[in-house]
Amino acid sequence: MATFTLVRHSGYTIAGNPELEESVEVAELTGAQIYTVKQAGGRMFESRDAAHAAETAHNAPGQRAGSRGYFSSLRVAGAEIHVPK
């Protein structure tokens, strides 16, 4: 069974687009990465649909960035793990 989490959007991480600095995207986790997400305090989702719903809610216009959490210094696949408030 696949497990998913939210990480900082690659449009910011890789491309440096400042409009995406507080945005998230879904990342599928490997077995070892699950422990990293737990250590960071990130959320995990049992389905891609649930993760996409959380992504959509987080990235919704009008959301205040600070109210949504922060990005951990821990990473999965090079992307910072999102830690909800």
pLDDT tens-digit readout, 35-80: 999 999 999 999 999 999 999 999 988 766 556 899 999 999 999 9
Amino acid residing at 18 = P
Q: Is 43 helix (H, G, I), strand (E, B) or coil?
A: coil
Instruction: Give the pLDDT confidence of 9-20 residue by residue, as tens digits.
Output: 999 988 889 988
